């Protein structure tokens, strides 16, 4: 059974139809990369999976939660579906550990002692076990992004969504964030990643999806996808991205 099931998803912003009938299934433990030019609908689709954008038509089920606009249903969905953005969105007045503890305490009703222990475990998972007390302005961009990932992990999600999480980072910091995601993939975390890192998608994703003009234009196992693209549009895209 699919952990993520999206059926014929349509979404418009005003007169512009951004998603034109997107259907995707993701199995437990699978890593799926979404690639495509800016405006192809990748990030909008990802945000629909977490209920951050409403859909105009279609059906979405993620981690057993049928998509609903009811606040209680959205809260339940977001307990099991984490999302990490390009901007880290850390609270500047809270240290790294406190940023991570916030949701488990407020959303799941976890005790502060238990949440603190979980925050330390999650920081260790992203290689920042010694930075619990550090405030965001004391951390590099790569470290802040790793704290943001740890914050999602603290909710013990069944699915993690990543939206261009390295696009604001320089190459060295990009590498440290991608290493964390790669490690999560080895541990069997179900993930969907919007990314422009073609080498990473090829190496880590089980499957890659190329979106163009609001539809899935081409998809397949990453091992074949990058070596034998089937359409002129994907060939041109990969040539422009990889060089």
- Where exactly are the structural domains of the chain? 1-70+158-243, 91-156
CA atoms of 100 and 90, how far apart (whole Å): 9
pLDDT at 92: 95
> Which among 207, 87, 228 is positioned nearest to 144, based on CA atoms?
87
For the chain, the C-alpha Rg in angstroms (whole number) is 18
DSSP for residue 67: P
User: Are the C-beta atoms of 202 and 222 separated by less than 8 Å?
Assistant: yes
CA atoms of 148 and 176, how far apart (whole Å): 13
CA atoms of 198 and 201, how far apart (whole Å): 5
pLDDT at 80: 93
pLDDT at 243: 58
1-70+158-243: CATH topology is Rossmann fold (3.40.50)
CA atoms of 207 and 202, how far apart (whole Å): 8
The number of angstroms, rounded, from the C-alpha of 169 to the middle of its chain's C-alpha atoms is 16
Low-confidence ranges of the chain (pLDDT < 70): 243
Instruction: Give pLDDT tens digits for 68-106.
Output: 989 989 888 988 999 998 888 899 999 999 999 999 998
Residues with Cβ < 8 Å from 124, sequence gap 6 or more?
A: none
User: Are the C-beta atoms of 65 and 76 separated by less than 8 Å?
Assistant: yes
């Amino acid at each position: 059974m699919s952990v993520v099931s999206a059926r014929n998803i349509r979404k418009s912003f005003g007169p512009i139809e951004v998603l034109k009938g997107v259907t995707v299934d993701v199995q437990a433990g699978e890593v799926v990369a979404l690639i495509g030019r800016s405006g192809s609908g990748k990030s909008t689709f990802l945000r629909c999976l977490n209920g951050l954008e409403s859909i105009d038509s279609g059906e979405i089920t993620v981690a057993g939660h049928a998509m609903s606009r009811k606040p209680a249903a959205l809260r339940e969905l977001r307990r099991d579906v984490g999302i990490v953005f390009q901007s880290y969105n850390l609270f500047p007045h809270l240290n790294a550990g406190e940023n991570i503890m916030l949701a488990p305490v407020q959303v799941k009703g976890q005790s502060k002692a238990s949440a603190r222990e979980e925050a330390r475990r999650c920081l260790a998972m992203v290689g920042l076990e010694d930075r619990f007390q550090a405030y965001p302005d004391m951390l590099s961009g790569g470290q802040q992004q790793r704290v943001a990932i740890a914050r999602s992990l603290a909710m013990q999600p069944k699915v993690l969504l990543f939206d261009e999480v390295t696009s604001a980072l320089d190459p060295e910091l990009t590498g440290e964030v991608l290493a964390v995601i790669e490690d999560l993939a080895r541990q069997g975390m179900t993930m969907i990643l919007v990314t422009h890192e073609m080498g990473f998608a090829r190496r880590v994703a089980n499957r890659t999806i190329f979106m163009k003009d609001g539809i899935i234009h081409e998809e397949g196992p990453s091992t074949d996808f990058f070596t034998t693209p089937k359409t002129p549009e994907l060939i041109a895209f990969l040539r422009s991205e990889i060089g």
